[in-house]
């Protein structure tokens, strides 16, 4: 029987099973998938401002008790921005890569900072960047990142929290989203936040999912999944996020997860509705919107589709290719290119 799980986020992530996130990573970067999920190597993840704000909003709105388990409040009032933020992130990445299991850094700061300088994209001279960095809040922020990221925490600032709190208030009061985000358990509705499922099957491949919000309507006998997204471009969500971040993979798997609940148990015979995205603005300027999927969207997500001349692989093909890569331990070439002996039509 497939049921919801009440594991902590850390426990859920420790479960060795594919998810929409891992399938998306396979579709974008097979090398990263291989290192992270097959070899179990640590892969440093970079986060942009919008994704960090989104995680804070999600936590404050859906799981406020988990705040201290996920975030570390910086002593800096605000985080570095622009190219300096890019430099700090790159410096942290190179430092982490050069750090051994005993916490010893095997490269000099000069070497690390020069790599970070090149990667960050600064146009001013290296010495000028270092003079701006040393003794500044950016250096403090970098040291805090080194201290807490290894513990699974994200360094945030009071400005980040204030912004996130304002976004949460907007979601709770805006007429577009208020009825959904404020919905609680009642005789008619069962509401689950961060609902976890493990072991549902798509084309014979087992998956797990942690869905932001599930609303079970016992009167209509329906299950509606909502996923919260915080972006820079609310009104261009389809191209800027749904396609660019391949969120259609997540949408399809969430639909199949909800559908799996209807096969047995107390929800047998209920109808899984197509998932919806609650999309808020990471700067809290634009009104939040709710993006609804159709049967056609679900079909495209499974079979694959094309938009403005670009092809997007469907879940069906991705699972097939992933299973092939695992079976034959081939990660440096796709199944199609291997089977064609590396001969590829230029415009295929």
Per the structure, the complete domain to which residue 148 belongs is given by 75-156
Is 343 inside a domain boundary?
A: no
* 186 and 271, same domain (yes or no): yes
* 188 and 321, same domain (yes or no): yes
* 185 and 277, same domain (yes or no): yes
* 148 and 294, same domain (yes or no): no
What pTM does this model have? 0.88
* 152 and 164, same domain (yes or no): no
* 167 and 280, same domain (yes or no): yes
* 252 and 305, same domain (yes or no): yes
Is 172 inside a domain boundary?
A: yes
- Position 169 scores a pLDDT of 98
CATH of the domain at 316: 3.90.320.10
- Position 288 scores a pLDDT of 98
- Position 7 scores a pLDDT of 64
Is 254 inside a domain boundary?
A: yes
* 22 and 53, same domain (yes or no): yes
- Position 5 scores a pLDDT of 58
Is 70 inside a domain boundary?
A: no
- Position 2 scores a pLDDT of 46
- Position 1 scores a pLDDT of 38
- Position 334 scores a pLDDT of 94
- How many structural domains does the chain have? 2
Is 348 inside a domain boundary?
A: no
With beta carbons less than 8 A apart as the criterion, state whether 111 and 78 touch: no
* 147 and 272, same domain (yes or no): no
* 1 and 121, same domain (yes or no): no
* 147 and 200, same domain (yes or no): no
- Position 151 scores a pLDDT of 87
The pLDDT tens digits along the chain (348 residues) read 345 556 677 677 677 899 999 999 999 999 999 999 999 887 766 667 788 999 999 999 999 999 999 999 999 988 898 999 999 999 999 999 899 888 899 999 999 999 999 999 999 999 999 999 999 999 999 999 999 988 889 999 999 999 999 999 999 999 999 999 999 999 999 999 999 999 999 999 999 999 999 999 999 999 999 999 999 999 999 999 999 999 999 999 999 999 999 998 999 999 999 999 999 999 999 999 999 999 999 999 999 999 999 999 999 999 999 999 999 999 999 999 999 999 999 876
* 84 and 229, same domain (yes or no): no
């Amino acid at each position: 029987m497939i049921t919801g799980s009440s594991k902590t986020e850390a426990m859920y992530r420790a479960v060795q099973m594919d998810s929409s996130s891992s399938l998306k990573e396979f579709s974008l970067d097979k090398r990263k998938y291989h290192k992270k999920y097959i070899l179990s190597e640590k892969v440093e993840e970079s986060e942009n401002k919008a994704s960090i704000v989104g995680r804070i909003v999600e936590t404050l709105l859906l799981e406020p008790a988990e705040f201290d388990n996920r975030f570390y409040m910086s002593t800096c009032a605000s985080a570095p921005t622009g190219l300096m933020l890019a430099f700090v992130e790159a410096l942290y990445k190179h430092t982490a890569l050069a750090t051994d299991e005993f916490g010893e850094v095997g490269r000099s700061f000069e070497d690390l900072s020069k790599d970070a300088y090149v990667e960050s994209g600064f146009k001013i001279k290296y010495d000028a960047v270092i003079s701006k960095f040393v003794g500044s809040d950016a250096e403090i922020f970098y040291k805090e990142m080194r201290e807490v990221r290894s513990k699974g925490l994200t360094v945030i600032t009071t400005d980040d929290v204030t912004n996130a709190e304002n976004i949460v208030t907007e979601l709770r009061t805006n007429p577009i989203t208020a009825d959904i985000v404020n919905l609680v358990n009642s005789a008619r509705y069962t509401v689950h936040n961060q609902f976890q499922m493990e072991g549902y099957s798509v084309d014979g491949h087992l998956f797990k999912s942690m869905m932001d919000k599930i609303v079970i309507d016992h009167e209509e006998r329906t299950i509606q999944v909502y996923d919260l997204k915080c972006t820079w471009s609310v009104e261009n969500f389809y191209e800027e996020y749904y396609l660019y971040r391949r969120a259609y993979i997540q949408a399809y798997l969430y639909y199949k997860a909800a559908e799996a609940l209807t096969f047995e148990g107390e929800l047998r015979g209920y109808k899984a509705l197509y998932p919806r995205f609650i999309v808020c603005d990471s700067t809290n300027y634009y009104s939040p919107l709710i993006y609804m999927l159709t049967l056609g969207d679900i079909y495209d997500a499974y079979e694959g589709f094309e938009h403005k001349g670009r092809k997007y692989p469907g879940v069906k093909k991705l699972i097939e290719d992933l299973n092939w890569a695992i079976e034959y331990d081939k990660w440096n070439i796709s199944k199609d290119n291997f089977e064609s002996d590396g001969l590829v039509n230029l415009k295929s």
